[in-house]
Chains A and B, each alone.
Chain A
């Protein structure tokens, strides 16, 4: 093929031999792990916020 000819679009999904059933099986569990990871991260941030708010900010008293 001459070098100045455009190459055909490469779509890896078309060429892959991924089994649909296996993909569905994986997708049933992987998003759950992502949700647990994201949930844990958010929970840690919220706990940190509450700890600073309740243990440091409020005891420091009135301001306005």
Chain B
């Protein structure tokens, strides 16, 4: 006597669960579609770069030696900023970058894991010893943006920050070697 309503209830519960599972599946598919669509049409992707560097010697020679740090405009017009993150400062402390132009940030560390973000933008990456962190971006507004270390790196972590100076095309003037520094402003 009681088997029939029980069976109906079971069927109803199963139907509800399948409907709910379908709804969740639609949500997951929609979320993934939004991420893929944005990546393909707006060029917004998680920064990804696997490039090894020796943390013990990176400051002695090569790309991250002192004279190569800061912003460089190459002969073909590409803008690259090279930054060393070290306990407890960024070198250079102020980075001048242009507004409305694609820029590449390249970072390395000789000591421990650091992380950077630039406030008000999507720039956000870890800087891991032994690897070069690289982020491509384009700034849409001029001004000074704070760039703190966001990965606890020691007792001085809270004092570790830099400034990104986003300059208009008029202000962003490379010198004869293609270098741009904040002091020019």
A residues in contact (CB < 8 Å) with B: 20, 24, 27, 31, 35, 38-39, 42, 46, 49, 53, 57-58, 60-64
Contacts A35-B16, A62-B137, A64-B44 given; does A46 touch B121 at CB 8 Å: no
Residues on the A chain within 8 Å of B140, using CB? 61
Q: How far is the CA of A43 from the CA of B44 in the complex (A)?
A: 25
Residues on the B chain within 8 Å of A63, using CB? 44-45, 47, 121-124, 135-137
B residues in contact (CB < 8 Å) with A: 2, 5, 9, 12-13, 16, 20, 23-24, 27, 31, 34, 38, 42-47, 102, 120-124, 135-140
Residues on the A chain within 8 Å of B47, using CB? 63-64
Residues on the A chain within 8 Å of B136, using CB? 62-64
Output the nearest chain A residue to B102 by Cβ-Cβ distance: A62
Contact of B122 among A35, A39, A46, A60 (CB under 8 A): A60
Residues on the B chain within 8 Å of A38, using CB? 20
Contact of A62 among B13, B20, B44, B46 (CB under 8 A): B44
Residues on the A chain within 8 Å of B23, using CB? 39, 42
Residues on the B chain within 8 Å of A53, using CB? 34
Output the nearest chain A residue to B137 by Cβ-Cβ distance: A63
Contacts A20-B5, A63-B122 given; does A31 touch B16 at CB 8 Å: yes
Expressed in whole angstroms, the minimum distance between the Cβ of B21 and any Cβ of chain A is: 12
A–B Cβ pairs within 8 angstroms, 27 of them: A24-B5, A27-B9, A31-B12, A31-B13, A31-B16, A35-B16, A38-B20, A42-B24, A49-B31, A58-B38, A58-B42, A60-B121, A60-B122, A61-B44, A61-B121, A61-B122, A61-B137, A61-B140, A62-B42, A62-B137, A62-B138, A63-B44, A63-B123, A63-B137, A64-B45, A64-B47, A64-B135
